[in-house]
Structure 1
Amino acid sequence: MPQTFRAVGYLPTGATGTPFDLAILLHDERRVRRRMLPLVHGDTVLVDFPEPVTLADRSMLKLEDGRLVEIIAGEEPLYDVRGRDPIHLMRLCWHLGNRHLKTQIEADRVLILRDHVIRDMLRGLGATVTDISEPFHPEDGAYAHSHGEPQHALINR
């Protein structure tokens, strides 16, 4: 019979320990404050943190009984966007930011969620846009951090 466990802590990527189960989550499911998370083997975990946390890929939740649950970033349908050169890619990023789109920025490409209107706009701007499926790690954005004391900042930034 499925059980519900309670998370009492968060361990960033690289923490040691052997997880007893996994939670495979999409990008928007990894941003939590209070949420039930499904585990691979059928149980659930209640996350009820005082502040929102973005659960990173390969990070872990610590449960009340001391066991660990590993967080895995699930694959999502995305566009791989590439420019002709670094300056062109920066201009493409500007257009995406101007539309407030969630964007994963890398050295030679950006990843965005699929949207045919945005795809057509990017192609019209000279970008190469390819359908892919992989984990998505968008930038948190200007409003996703604390403006106060360091102890109030998001974990794992």
Structure 2
Amino acid sequence: MNISATPDLGTADAVLESGHGRPVAGRVVLDYEARCLRRKRLVTAEGASFMVDLPQTISLAPGAAFVLADGRAVEVVEAREPVLRIEGDLPTLAWHIGNRHCPCEIAADHLVIRVDPVLEAMLLQLGAKVTRSLAPFRPLGGAYGHGRTFGHNH
């Protein structure tokens, strides 16, 4: 898609939590990596472009929305992406995943990581049941704050 030929919504310089109640100018579908940003031009699912220019890098929470200069919002939709659903001895499996500094979503009865053939082979060797699927990826944030951690200088 040629971004220069798309309608321009202007600039977003703030982010709102879900349930913002503002008029919606569009929706942007972002995977886990793309939901961590500070400054970037994005294109909505409807084909309009806008510039994100935030004061600092953030990790967008589910349901977040960018605030445009005119007060409208561009809602963030989590993309479905290739993930591994992991079942088995969860404490042991989670330890091995964490030991490799791999982002991990933790539920009561399973773990979820992005598809990684090396980790998949390791988990299978450890006796895990591993199922490939497409789903939004929502790993836990760091221990020293919300969202992702950016290095080890806590």
- Please give the TM-score of this superposition, normalised by the length of structure 1: 0.83
User: Residues 65-80 of structure 1 correspond to what in structure 2 (within 5 A)?
Assistant: 65-80=70-85
Superposition deviation, residue 24 in structure 1: 0.3
Q: Aligned runs of 1:79-118 on 2, under 5 Å?
A: 79-83=84-88, 88-118=89-119
What is residue 14 of structure 2 aligned with on the other side?
9
**Does structure 1 conserve the Cα–Cα contact (< 8 Å) formed by 2:85 and 2:132?**
yes
2:38 maps to what in 1?
33
Matched, 1:128 2:129: yes
For the structure 1 residues 99 and 36, does the alpha-carbon distance in structure 2 shift closer, same or farther, using more than 3 Å as the test?
A: same
Indicate whether 1:53 and 2:58 are aligned: yes
Supply the AA of the counterpart residue of 2:27: L
Query: Are 1:22 and 2:18 an aligned pair?
Result: no
Structure 2 counterpart SS, 1:29: coil
Alignment partners' CA distance in 2, 1:119 and 1:137: 18
Deviation at 1:107?
1.4
| Structure 1 runs of 4+ with >6 Å offset | none
User: Which stretches in structure 2 are left out of the alignment for 5+ residues?
Assistant: none
User: How high is the TM-score relative to the length of structure 2?
Assistant: 0.85
> How far, CA to CA, are the matches of 1:113 and 1:13 in structure 2?
24
Q: How many pairs does the alignment contain?
A: 142
In 2, are the aligned partners of 1:82 and 1:110 still within 8 Å (CA)? yes
SS of the residue 1:16 aligns to: coil
Q: How far apart are residue 145 of structure 1 and its match?
A: 5.0
